[in-house]
Chain A
């Protein structure tokens, strides 16, 4: 065990691999790891014949998948996805074992994988998870080593070859027999294929899986025939209606609205809300309420923004259509309105996870962000943010782009209610560090606004505007005065997961909760 710079104990090796403890957000460079770009063998296909191998089982056989290999899928169908479950079921039926999953994310719907983990079909997760799998792992009820990565960090790990993907099974909602595809149209349309674009480039074998085979050529092309090995057809990829997460409505909660109003005041005071403004929000009800205020201010002041970024909602689509942004960078569509827009509007740009947030390249889009709204499950008095575990200690959420965007944006704003069901959300220590405090600009709760020391002008301007600025320790004290001081959750020494920072260093671990 070694302590990283945030005081967290990090094992030297985990599941047979060695890792470097987190130091700071900047100093790690690709050279530190002797990283090159991942390579794969050159292939020659002089046949113009169809690549359709049949169904999933035939495709798995044709891909040459063997025991001990790593597979991936993308999570653009979010909780409507059925491909990952179907692939694993077929893998099991073929008698394959010891498979690693390196998908871009795993959702609640993938709780179906749990029996296959118990059975030894799946033996490692090279990706974060949402829901029951992580919960059971952190309770110690399920054995499966897990390395949680951000969107940018995952792109980095795939591009650098740290996580070599043997076979990528990519859901392809609009696909032809020679392997060209996009996500814009068809019964399982999910819009942007941002996460899949990385796998398509770097996986050793690429299988396009479609429920909508269209006549050649499937245009416009997101993933092209020259990098696709196999096409498989299935009855259905999933239910695109469930790509809408439950939180794409503006909040009606008065405390949430108060937080949104304060967050909008922070953006207003930041000085960036002028022509050329760039902005990202998530899908939470509070985030969308902030976006509503930003839209109103841009309208009133006739501001023409540069770009909106991230997972894209219909809200941002409306702002684009209204002319409030020059364009949208879309790594993932959060609702069907965004899906519809990306298929018709060239200014609604599909963006790969690498372009979005990979730290090891010549500049990701997050570097160009002015203000970003991010969420949290907990925040500590050093501005460190947890989005992975809850105060119960259970691993319930994937990182998403959290630490990538916090690092990239000039002003990253964490919006979070100060109390959830008596649990204080600003506390002495967070259960798990996802995002280091020095990359966090402002914490906004309904009880006040805490500004990090690296933004003194913003703090002074907010005070001048009589916004409720408070020292983050004062904020914690006020919250504890209401809730009482919580007793820390107890953990065992058993490390069951790693939380990787975007640069590949380890910022925290997940240990099993003591019963």
Chain B
């Protein structure tokens, strides 16, 4: 599926995250998190899983995470992708 326009989802409240997506030639993921040291690996794995599940192979995906749990990460990425016309 394709990211056809810029989109954002989520908030900057604690336990939430913001997801920014925009079209790009290749896949690029950037993760910023208050718990990057302890949970960077799990966040990354979750992002990869959700992108794969939605068939996203190109695009620029940026996360600003405030300690969100996996379910919220998944939901916010899904919402951003849907808003970007990708799903």
A residues at B contact (CB < 8 Å): 391-393, 420-423, 482-484, 486-489
Contacts and interface: CB of A to CB of B under 8 A. Distances in A.
Interface string B40-71: 11100000000000000000000000111110
Contacts of B41: 487
B37 A422 contact: no
B14 A421 contact: yes
A484 B70 CA distance: 9
Contacts of A488: 38
Contacts of A483: 39, 69
Given A482-B69, A483-B69, A484-B70, A423 B15 contact: no
B48 to A, nearest CB: 15
B69 A392 contact: no
Task: Give 8 closest A-B pairs by Cβ, nearest first.
Answer: A421-B67, A486-B38, A422-B67, A484-B42, A422-B35, A487-B38, A489-B37, A421-B34
Nearest to B35: A422
Given A484-B39, A487-B41, 7 more contacts: A391-B38, A421-B15, A421-B34, A422-B34, A483-B69, A486-B38, A487-B38
A111 B22 CA distance: 42
A389 to B, nearest CB: 13
* Candidate in A422, A483, A484 with the most chain B CB atoms within 10 angstroms: A422
B67 A423 contact: yes
A278 to B, nearest CB: 37
Interface in B10-26: 14-15
A422 B69 CA distance: 7
A220 B70 CA distance: 60
A486 B69 contact: no
A420 B66 CA distance: 10
A423 B69 contact: no
Interface of B: 14-15, 34-35, 37-42, 66-70
Contacts of B66: 421
A237 B34 CA distance: 37
B37 A392 contact: yes
5 contacts: A421-B35, A422-B68, A484-B42, A488-B38, A489-B37
Nearest to A489: B37
Contacts of B69: 422, 482-483
Contacts of A489: 37-38
A392 B38 CA distance: 8
Contacts of B68: 422
A487 B37 contact: yes
A420 B39 CA distance: 13
B80 to A, nearest CB: 20
A198 B30 CA distance: 54
Contact of A487 (B15, B39, B67, B70): B39
A421 to B, nearest CB: 3
B67 to A, nearest CB: 3
Contact of B35 (A393, A423, A482): A423
B32 to A, nearest CB: 14
A486 B69 CA distance: 12
Contacts of B15: 421-422
Nearest to B42: A484
Nearest to A421: B67
A253 B41 CA distance: 30
A488 B35 CA distance: 11
A386 to B, nearest CB: 15
B38 A423 contact: yes
Contacts of A422: 15, 34-35, 38-39, 67-69
A489 B70 CA distance: 21
B38 to A, nearest CB: 4
Contacts of B34: 421-422
A513 B37 CA distance: 11
Nearest to B66: A421
Interface centre among B14, B38, B39, B41 (most CB of A within 10 A): B38
A287 B75 CA distance: 35
A393 B68 CA distance: 20
Interface centre among B15, B37, B41, B70 (most CB of A within 10 A): B37
Contacts of A392: 37
B44 to A, nearest CB: 11
Nearest to A488: B38
Chain B CB within 10 A, most for which of A393, A421, A483, A488: A421
Nearest to A424: B38
A138 B66 CA distance: 23
Contacts of A421: 14-15, 34-35, 66-67
Contacts of B67: 420-423
B45 to A, nearest CB: 10
A482 B72 CA distance: 12
Contacts of A484: 39, 42, 70
A436 B41 CA distance: 31
A199 B40 CA distance: 47
B12 to A, nearest CB: 13
A423 B34 CA distance: 10
Nearest to A482: B69
B35 to A, nearest CB: 5
Nearest to A391: B38
A206 to B, nearest CB: 45
Contacts of A391: 38
B15 to A, nearest CB: 7
A489 B66 CA distance: 18
Nearest to B45: A484
A256 to B, nearest CB: 14
